[in-house]
Amino acid sequence: MSLVLIVALLLVCGSIFVNGWTHAPNAIATVVSTRVLRPRIAVIMATIFNLLGIMCFGSAVASTIANLVNVGTGISPLIAICAAQLSIVIWSVSAWKFGIPTSESHALIAGLMGSGIAYNGFSAFNLPQFEKVIWGIIIATVVGFVATYFVTKLIRICFRRVKRARANRFFSGAQIVSSALMATSHGAQDGQKFMGVFVMVILLANNQIIPAQIHIDLWIVLLTALVMGIGTSIGGYRIIKTMGIDMVKLEKYQGFSAEIVASVCMLVTTVASGIPLSTTNTKGAAMMGAGAARKFSDVNWGIAKDMVIAWVLTFPICMGLGFVMTRLFIALFE
């Protein structure tokens, strides 16, 4: 096994670890902020269901990511992928330090795009796969907000005559189920993205063309699940505070609405179309929709605006990092 391949695999593992560390809190922010579960219990639950999501939902999203850019085969493209992974880690850890829930999915996609441009120009873009990325951003933002808004309104109507204490007991139990489903969808989406990069790295190292539909070996599934699980078990409580407390304070039924809509949206796109959705984007938009369904003033739109700006900036920053790091890596190691 070449040194470049070892470094590439280690950097992919580093990206997976950071994803579990910084993105699992998105899945459990509501169940913690509504005080249904204590943070440590919620993190353990998220770890378990992340593993389930990684292992049980096919490879459609992984195939999309593996075919996002065309960089040829061999060592030089492998160096480019190393640079992309390092740029993701730098951006995600920097955002975590300030408690900003950025999208590592967007960072991964943008980093790969930047590396592809640095190595092979704009011809590196695989447009059909890039179109899926655009659709993913639209679905996560628009559907996440709008669908959750109306689902929350519907729940309010259905439970308007139920005593508050009884409704809270019901939604406390329901939120445990919905947050577990949210953690499963995070594993299914984000786990597949990084498994796609794993396969991409191995095929490049062996001078093999990346097929439209990739096959993921069991050891890659298990390694991804293990590394993401370790990252998730550490947790990112700053991000839980930003999303679940500072941005919007949700009641139990609102938390349930946000989790159900976001997780169903992510799982359907995972299985049906291979569209890559950002967990942060989808869950954040759903939480805003759930809060706005009661009163628009319940959402701290200043923090929401900062989050959206961070999502938008992720693409140019990570593309730039991927481009610069790839140029640097090729100059140093090729």
Domain boundaries, the chain: 3-333
pLDDT tens for 292-301 read: 998 888 787 8
Share of the chain above pLDDT 70, in %: 90
Residue 248, helix vs strand vs coil: strand
Whether the Cβ atoms of residue 31 and residue 179 lie closer than 8 Å to each other:
yes
298 Cβ partners below 8 Å, 6+ apart?
248, 249, 291, 292
Q: What is the pLDDT of residue 240?
A: 60
Cα(199)–Cα(13) distance, integer angstroms = 13
pLDDT tens track for 226-274: 888 788 777 655 556 555 556 677 888 988 999 899 999 999 999 888 8
pTM: 0.83
pLDDT value at residue 289 = 92
- Give dist(CA 181, CA 203) in Å, integer: 32
Interval 162-188: pLDDT, tens? 988 898 889 988 989 998 998 899 888
Residue with the larger pLDDT of the pair 197 and 31 = 197
**All residues at 6 or more sequence positions from 203 whose CB lies less than 8 Å from its CB, including other chains:** 66, 73, 209, 210
84: amino acid identity, one letter:
A
Helix, strand, coil: what percent of the chain each, to 5? 80, 0, 15
In degrees and rounded to multiples of 5, residue 264 shows phi and psi of -65, -45
- 69 three-class SS: strand
